[in-house]
Structure 1
Amino acid sequence: MFNPQQIPRVFAQPLGCDFSQNLVDGLITHMADTPPEAMARVDLYVNTQRMKRRVQEIFYQRGAGFLPRIRLITSLSDDPLMLANLPEAAPSLRRQLLLGQLIQQLLQAEPSLAPISATYDLVQSLSALMDEVQGEGVTMADVVNLDVAEHSEHWGRSKRFLEILANYWDQNALTDPQDRMRHISQLYAQIWAQNPPQHPVIIAGSTGSRGETAAFMQAVANLPQGAVILPGVEPAEPAHLWHSFKTPSATLDHPQAGFAKLFEVLGIERSDAPVWYEAAPANPARNALISLALRPAPMTDQWMQEGPDLIPQVTTATQDITMIEADVQKEEALAIAICLRNAAEQEQKAVLITPNRTLTRRVSANLARWGIEADDSAGVPLQLTPPGVFLRSIAGLFGRPLAPQNLSALLKHTLCHSTEARPEHNLMTQRLEVAVLRGGPPFVSLDTITHWADGKKSTPEQVIWAAWIARVFAPLAQTTHLPLAAWIDLHFTTAEALAAGPSGEGSGILWDKAAGRRAREVMDELRQEQAHGGHMSAIEYQSLIARVLSTEVRRDAQFSHPNIAIWGTLEARVQGADLVILGGLNEGIWPENPKPDMWLNRDMRKQLGLLLPERSIGLSAHDFQQAMGAARVVISRCLRDGEALANPSRWLMRLTNLLEGIGDTGKEAVRDMRQRGDQWVRLARLIDLPVHSAPAIAHSPPAPRPAPVPPKGARIDRLSVTQVQRLIRNPYEIYARRILGLRKLEPLGKQPDALARGIAVHAVLEQFSTEYPHALPEEPRAAFLASAEKVLARSVPWPSARHLWLARLAQVADWFLAAEATRRRLGVITATERSGELYFKELDFTLSVQADRLDQGQKGLRIYDYKAGKPPTSSVVKVFDRQLHLTALIAVRGGMDGMPGAPVEHLEFIGMHSDQTTLPIDVDDETIVTTEDELKQLIGYYNIAGHGFNAHDKEQLNQDIGDFDHLSRRGEWTDSDAPEKIEISDEI
């Protein structure tokens, strides 16, 4: 097939060509003079499974004939010819578990390095480092000889740990894939040196960026009938640039720098690598433009020299480039999806290439709107499939109190109680949520669920269902530290019990579908290796499960669209398409930010001869250069990343800067590219706008600002003194709450919000007043904080909130106690948290109160109201917040429980806030009478005169949010709109 030569045989395939198609065409051309069966003796090594399938498809399309023996380079570690000379391969999961135990010991000895929950994140990074070290042939001596004298102590600890690890792992030599692959490459080189194969051996599609792959490529290239075919080699790279890559100070972030290093290892020059198959690039002018734009930074002055030469070709180079610049990633994903849909309708092959998996998931979701499922090379991580989410949710409950949010999410999961009785389960879950979980405590007691099921209106099915819940969840929070085997058993038992339902038979559909079967295989594999896991905490097990599930991928390519695909950068190197979309072209995505390395810094990596961060940038630049060589290209980015502006990719900036710098022709080209992209962005913005076919609906006016007038039989019959303020400020809220009988749906479980803090502060002050009803103790601050700590420990279940609120009370303690001493001299505490009410017969209305504190002064009662925040201002109290005045009215009229009517001499708001302010209010008999008259006028205004309950009538701030704003359709009207009366009929 090949003529003899004295140097390694390397071929290059230029940019802008379909590599797989050219590979097959060249292979057939080179073997044109051989008999047909000679093709079956060709060993062809490719870099990905997808390329293998593509090459096979191209051969199939050519009709009947022999196929070469197509293998993956990565399968060398399992080469059957070499297995006899190698120890048994260690499962990847076993290595993770063994490394996990070592890192556990490290973190226990050095807790400042990382939290114990980071164990398996560190395992992943350490596994990647071990693979790289083994692939590059780094020895134990190299690690020992690392010079860390000028580095911080952290790197010294890291080196010592790596030395321990290297000594340990030396006992397991040749059991890891990278180590085995490098060893096999060396064995092949030794065997072939004595007895080289006479049939063709070809490696195609790899760039040789990893050490073990480069070693195997070197062995193949030196065979009599061996050859290496490289993708995306630039044929016209200037000689001075090519040679600069070989200097010690050369930059490695150029797309062709890796080839220069590979050629240096092979001992050949650029001219020694002819083209494998002569094929015209899709757009040679664009290749030249991109090549100049990507020159290394020290050579960008060449833009001034060579840029003008490109002016005649700029239009040809850019006419098929579209630049999408969307506002946010959601808009970018939709614009890309529309591009792909358009290509599918025109029966063109289109592909999205991006390293951003969030963007690809958004694009896939948008394509699903039109029934298009893209062939995604990355697939869906198993942890994001229904079984993966189900298993992770269960593991998340281990060793933790049962939160209402977690319980509700798990009970509503499609795999929970996945039997024929699923509808009944959904009904029970809804009832439990409303009765127990919403507005309940922050953590669920299983006894509470059992008590709920034993209620008067319960059914036998409800009792059985609640008993099942209690039985399944009871063991979870009690376990904190177990052997891995026990964790796995508990996980299996819980998952299958939840999936089976109360009957306990089978496991529902948990393991039935493809994702479920794969999840079962992963869990079974973990069970097989459980002896190597040792003991671990609940949080470590949760991290392990998340890590194991995230490394597995589910692919359903058989159901995907034949012409629409999503590729990673590795697959894109050796395939072609009619339309190529480069998505997410922002800095930090293309190229990706270097991942932090816990174990080695840049200098240590350089000492060991490992890949430096800029080398990965060079590989990413090569992917970009190859993709830009396609016939039609869409380059896409979003202008904002969350709340911050996003920077465009450095390659996109280089391209636009070069074009805009060569004159008006280049500026016009950039403008045209953006205009073509703006068309897709406009479509993305229009596609989600509501379209109404009926003219009456299309022109319907927005809802008015409502002021409902209920029928005479539905009036306000009862309010608390605090609700009176809401009646003044937002009457619509009182209408919805007291007349319609509506209430806000409480969240799942209580949260440490302002309401919870207010309740806690009131409880603290009530407790202190109860313990010391007369004089203050000798050490008032210590006694006050001790009382507060006792109350908060009893009533506040959130540890962080408990400590924070106690600190806030300590901040105001001295101020409060100094004022409290004065209050004790002026009166004697008579009652705390005393309820009361006052009935107005002429209005058929009851006013109620829960008074914080009543003191008996010299001339009458002194009424105090505690505020966890700032007290209201005097102007607000004068018009709106009449809470203390109304409390005084009830006290004077004898409405307080167990207390006769008595005069009131003083009112005061006490703000337990860092501002340390109070608001004393003067009160006399005339004030009480005026307050009563104003209340009767206010209630009569609605109950007798029949006025409408205006929405947001006198709110303090425009942005104040009410519980019933959605009911009043706020947003369709503004606070400046006049309220519109709406007569409510009493007819049903």
Structure 2
Amino acid sequence: MARRPRILSIPASAPFLPTLIEALASDKLFADFPTAGDPLSLNRATIYLPTRRACRLAREAFLRRGGTAVLPRLIAIGDVDEDELVFADAGRAEALTVPPAISPLERRLVLAGLVEKFANAKEIASGDAPLITGTPAHVLDLADALARLIDDMVTRDVDWKQLDKLVPDDFDPYWQLTLRFLGIAGEAWPAFLKEQGLVDLSTRRDALLAAEAERLRNRAPGPVIAAGSTASMPATARLLAEIARLPQGTVVLPGLDLSLDNESWSKIGGTPPGFSDPSVAHPQYGMFGFLNLVGVERDEVEELVAAPLAIRDKLVSEALRPAAATEHWATLDGGDALAAGFDDVAVIETETVEQEALAIAVALREAMEDPKRTAALVTPDRTLARRVKAALARWRVPVEDSGGEALSESGAGIFARLAATVALRGAEPVPLLALVKHSQFRLGRGEGGFAKAAVALERAVLRGPRPAAGSASLIQAVALLRADIDGGKVHRADQRTKLDKWQFDAADELATALHAALEPLESLAGQQSSLADFAARHRAVLDALSDHDDGEAELIDTALAELAESGAAQSFRMPAFEYPAFFERVLAGRVTRPPEDRTARVRIFGLLEARLQTVDRLVLGGLVEGVWPPQMQSDAWLSRPMRQQLGLDLPERRIGLTAHDFAQALGTRDVIMTRSMKVGGAPTVPSRFTQRLQAVLGEGPWKLALQRGEKYRAWARSLDMPETIARIAAPEPKPPLAARPTRFSVTEIEEFLRDPYSIYAKRVLGLAKLDPVDTPPGARDRGSAVHNAIEDFTDLYADGLPSDPYAELIKLGRKAFEPLAAHPDAQAFWWPRFLRVARWFAEWEPARRVDVDTVFAEKRGELEFLIGDRMFKLSARADRIEKRRDGSFALVDYKTGNAKGAKEVLSGLAPQLTLEAAIAQGGGFEDVPAGSSVTGLTYVQLKGQEPPGLVRELSEEETWKKTSPDAEAVRAFENLKQLLLRFEDEKQPYLSRSRPQFRQRYGDFDLLARVREWSATGGVVEEE
């Protein structure tokens, strides 16, 4: 007579592995297999656990307990290995021979090729519309979805022929097309595997499990225990069922719910009559099906130990009961009987994810106050995990993050992706800077060997508008900038003029070496090639860029080598531009984990890693919908009704698995649950698990839990909160006299008058605002191009105009616009404006020169004068100086933006032209004798709109009737000397925004002066 299956359970609130090991070592599992006191007795026992990590944890638990000389044989069901099974019974080695599994990467690529090949096939496409469109990365995503479908069909024993039973006309046209494709794939894929002598990994796994079940059935090996598995896969369930029936076999389930009433229990699965739509989202769904499989009633299952937190377990059972049975909540006495189970639970709700991470870090840090305690964070949110780890670093708390991270997000993965992006997408400035500043960037030198060169290259050509595409353009851009600076083509206010020769040399060296390193991959830019070719060249580029060698870099090198040698990759072609995104997708499924730190008492787990773990304090983080539980993702190939008809898992199954993880985690005595009320500025929805808990508990116990969590929020807020908050005052720097500048340009004087602090920042502190990286060309770039063209024209034809001024202006304009060649959008927008400016200027210039004798363009001048005991120098670069036929002079300033108004000039707040006139009067310009009269001050606006050009003769405006340019020049110069004299007193501070009239924007140094802070509380400081 067959033995009745033996199934036990360990309550969720009992530590699973320690309880299991204690029971095995103290004869509680097998009455006919005594182990107590015999250190060699366990060598005949076999324990099946869910994962290799669980096996390692069990091994450590055995060693901590002691008293055992030989450990039992530990086998991971989830990662079952043929060698392990053969080793158990050498005589059956031949029977266990299973074809090798296709490598995961090769399978992905072959399936991607299959998807791409058949997507546009006539027998699938409807008319001219292809079934699948998108990038190669999108095709790989669809191939991954197809691989998951194949695994699902293997796992659930669904034959491809069952697809024929689905009636296409019952579904949307899209699903009809996918069924046609799957019909072809269902023939092509098995045929490919058969030809190669391979099988899917899931097929191999199930075959090995079936072979192991047969071995156990035919040859009882001694005590056998299967523990910790929920038997969610049919092959696993069949193996566990065989173990349960062995003479010395036992299955130990994790957290089987024995408190749920029978009526509600029956509503979990689909086996009982009348329940055709099972509650797949229920945490007990897998174990419900397993008990039905072995024919064991739930009340026949014995708990191995009494639940330490029986009320907590009951509370969780009630909260997670099947949706069809939630009417039982109405019979609860307001949750009061269960509220005691929530006494050790704290709830933290924060405004942002950053606050949530810091509160979690504080809670974990508090647990470390007791040197014997351990703590862990469990979360499926890897971003939250990284934030918590970073927050714990402030206390130097060692953290073991066993959840790992995607290889694509590791340091080596990011570096590899950046290298491909830079090489194949035109060396865009942002990824280029990220590459050359990466810690793994070497180029034949040690770490940081090119750090100064990277900064020089950034300042020279990567800030502001980007250079032309390709790394070779960097070499050209550096050389062009050096030539332009030497030729005076770059305004001296441009910070690039401050670069030293060694910085240009360093930038040139880096650009040259980078171009050589990127060449193998960059030579394919703009072309199509095979994935294998891209991978081989990518590998060569990484070898040239970095000699950094660590575990992550080796994984990247292995992945690229596998791609380069893959037969499927040889035939998979794509445009070069698409390769970086495709490569990132290839790495996304690979996980890298740091070496284990056994000294760490704080750990971070993913949901899979947290199973069967035991710690003193457990924080459940990211409890919002879409994270825990995860967002349900529909199948790209089969709709939900299709999957249900075929007997495949529904999308809600993932919710049930995470629900079981949640229920097991709440078995820890000291639990903290957290969520952020906003993520990325958008409100979140609390996890359905916590909503159910709140519904069962009622408002009172939940508020108490929030109050228990409030202290962690308060501690987190106080970490960066100053003891007192003082109102900030406007800055009043008073540098010593020797540090105060004595050289000024006329354009700086307006800044000096309005905002002395900016002069302090620039000339005393030596600071400068840099352009952002890779900014689109702006007004300054347009202004420079127009200015250069007009100035070159004025300089070339100072003594007489050409026969066709417009044609000559166009010729000079094309040369001036060459730096914008890499920006066709800017060219398309600004060049037509310049054409209008050129036509207007070609008509205005001849008329202007009727009363002009000589024209000087870009004339430099300076004037020295004494203030107190120090000599000062005022310099200017006049756009245009005209010598009129009556011997007087006029000053013209070209503006591609708005020109200053007459009132602004007369008020002294816009003294550029009047101070240029003062320099002219003092003989500071060559060819302008001292004592010359200035009779004209003119702004010429060259916007290219309607009208294209506009002349503003300040000296002819109504407000100038009582004065003259000569008089205003004298007055402006006197005002300047008074200003400089006032700042010769060391008690005079350089105030911020002292005269903001007519100012429409904030200055470059207002952030440094913290203007928005002190002006909001004290107003703008006015200087008399």
Please indicate, yes or no, whether the TM-score normalized by the shorter chain is above 0.5. yes
- After superposition, residues 201-220 of structure 1 pair within 5 angstroms as 201-220=224-243
Question: Does residue 290 of the first structure (1) align with residue 320 of the second (2)?
Answer: no
Q: Which runs of 5+ in 2 are unaligned?
A: 87-92, 122-129, 484-499, 867-871
Partner-residue secondary structure (3-state), 1:64 = coil
Residue 685 (str. 1) matches residue 717 (str. 2): yes
Equivalent residue for 2:382, pick from 348, 357, 367? 357
* 1:198/1:224 contact within 8 Å kept: no
**Residues 541-550 or 163-172, more deviating:** 541-550
Aligned residue for 2:67, secondary structure, equals coil
Q: Distance in 1 between matches of 2:307 and 2:998?
A: 65
Of 223, 240, 255, the match for 2:283 = 255
Change in 2 beyond 3 A, CA 1:865/1:685:
same
Q: How does 1:969-984 map to 2 (within 5 A)?
A: 973-974=1014-1015, 976=1018
Matched position secondary structure for 2:622: coil
Report the CA distance between 1:400 and its aligned residue.
2.6
Please tell me whether the aligned partners of residues 52 and 71 of structure 1 are also in contact (alpha carbons under 8 angstroms): yes
1:241 and 2:248 equivalent?
no
2:204 counterpart (172, 177, 180): 180
Alignment of 1:806-825 (within 5 A): 806=828
Return the letter of the residue paired with 1:18. Answer: P
Q: Paired residue for 2:307, among 272, 281, 292? A: 281
More deviation, 316-325/77-86: 77-86
The RMSD of aligned alpha carbons is 5.0
Q: Secondary structure at the match of 2:652?
A: helix
Secondary structure in structure 2 of the residue aligned to 1:388:
helix
Partner of 2:820: 796
SS for the counterpart of 1:358 is helix
Partner of 1:615: 653
**Stretch moving more, 119-128 or 565-574:** 119-128
Counterpart position of 1:139: 159
In structure 1, C-alpha distance between the alignment counterparts of 2:308 and 2:917, rounded to whole Å: 89
**Matched letter for residue 345 of structure 1:** E
**Cα offset, 1:536, TM superposition:** 3.9
1:414 partner SS = coil
Q: Which of 518, 531, 536 is equivalent to 1:489?
A: 536
Cα distance change, pair 395–298 in 1 and its aligned pair in 2 (3 A): same
SS in 2 for 1:323: strand
3-state DSSP of counterpart to 2:745: strand
How far the C-alpha of 1:792 sits from its partner, in A, is 11
**Secondary structure at 2:642 match in 1:** helix
**Does 16-25 or 885-894 show the bigger shift?**
885-894
For residues 728 and 603 of structure 1, what CA distance do their matches in structure 2 show? 75
| Match for residue 93 of structure 1 among 97, 105, 122 | 105
Deviates more, 1:593-602 or 1:707-716: 707-716
Q: 2:75 aligns to what? A: 71
Deviation at 1:428?
A: 4.5
Gaps in structure 1 of 5+ consecutive residues:
500-506, 661-665, 692-697, 982-988
TM-score, normalised relative to structure 1: 0.81
User: 1:944 is matched with which residue?
Assistant: 981
What is the total number of aligned residue pairs between the two structures? 941
Higher alpha-carbon deviation: 75-84 or 596-605:
75-84
Letter in 1 for 2:101: A
Distance change >3 Å, CA 936–CA 95, structure 1 → 2: same
Q: CA deviation at 1:423?
A: 6.4
CA distance in 2, matches of 1:170, 1:564: 47
Distance apart, 1:68 and its partner CA: 3.0
Give the distance between the partners of 2:233 and 2:947, measured in 1 at CA: 64
| Alignment-derived partner of residue 954 in structure 1 | 995
Residue 354 of structure 1: how far off its partner (Å): 1.0
Which of 306, 309, 331 pairs up with 2:355?
A: 331
Q: Distance in 2 between matches of 1:282 and 1:788?
A: 88
Of residues 242, 246, 253, the one that matches 1:230 is 253
* Aligned with residue 672 of structure 1, among 685, 704, 720: 704
Deviations for 1:300-334, whole angstroms, at most 9, x for unmatched residues? Answer: 443332143x41442x2222111122332222222
Q: Which stretch of structure 1 is more off in the superposition, 196-205 or 65-74? A: 196-205
Deviation sequence 1:619-661 (CA, Å, 0-9, x none): 212211221122111111223212223332222223234333x
Question: 1: distance between equivalents of 2:296 and 2:478?
Answer: 78
SS in 1 for 2:858: strand
Query: Equivalent of 2:133, from 113, 116, 140?
Result: 113
**Aligned ranges for residues 517-916 of structure 1 at < 5 Å?**
517-529=554-566, 532-534=569-571, 535-595=573-633, 597-660=635-698, 667=700, 669-689=701-721, 705-706=731-732, 708=734, 711=737, 715=741, 717-721=743-747, 723-738=748-763, 742-748=767-773, 751-753=776-778, 755-756=780-781, 759=784, 794-796=818-820, 802-803=824-825, 806=828, 834-836=857-859, 839=862, 846=874, 848=876, 851=879, 866-867=895-896, 882=910, 907=939, 909=941
Shift of 1:10: 3.8
Q: TM-score, normalised by structure 2?
A: 0.78
1:357 offset after TM fit, Å? 1.0
2:490 paired residue number: none
Q: Distance in 1 between matches of 2:338 and 2:873?
A: 87
Q: Which is further off, 732-741 or 952-961?
A: 952-961
Question: Which piece of structure 1 moves more, 704-713 or 165-174?
Answer: 704-713
Native 8 Å contact 1:107 1:116 kept in 2? no
Task: Describe the SS at the equivalent of 1:74.
Answer: coil
Distance 2:617 2:901 in 1: 66
Cα 1:112–1:86 change in 2 (3 A) is closer
Task: String of CA shifts for 1:21-62, please: whole Å, max 9, x gaps.
Answer: 233344441224226577444432211122112222333324
Q: CA 1:710 to 1:372, structure 2 compared with 1: closer, same or farther past 3 Å?
A: closer
Report the identity percentage.
27
**Residues 758 and 1004 in structure 2, CA contact (< 8 A), matched pair in contact too:** yes
The 8 Å contact of residues 202 and 220 in structure 1, kept in 2 or not, is answered as: yes
Which residue pairs with 1:33 in the alignment? Answer: 32
Aligned 8 A contact 1:715 1:943 in 2: no
Candidates 14, 25, 48, aligned match of 2:11: 14
SS of 2:423's partner is coil
Aligned pair in 2 of structure 1 residues 559, 629: CA closer, same or farther (>3 Å)?
closer
Aligned residue in 1 for 2:57: 54
Distance 2:162 2:329 in 1: 43
Q: 1:55 to 1:84 in 2, by over 3 A?
A: closer
* Code of the aligned partner of 1:335: A
Letter in 2 for 1:950: L
Gap change, CA 1:458 and 1:147, over 3 Å in 2: same
Separation in structure 2 between the aligned mates of residue 637 and residue 619 of structure 1, nearest angstrom: 20
Deviation of 1:137 (Å) = 2.5
SS in 1 for 2:332: helix
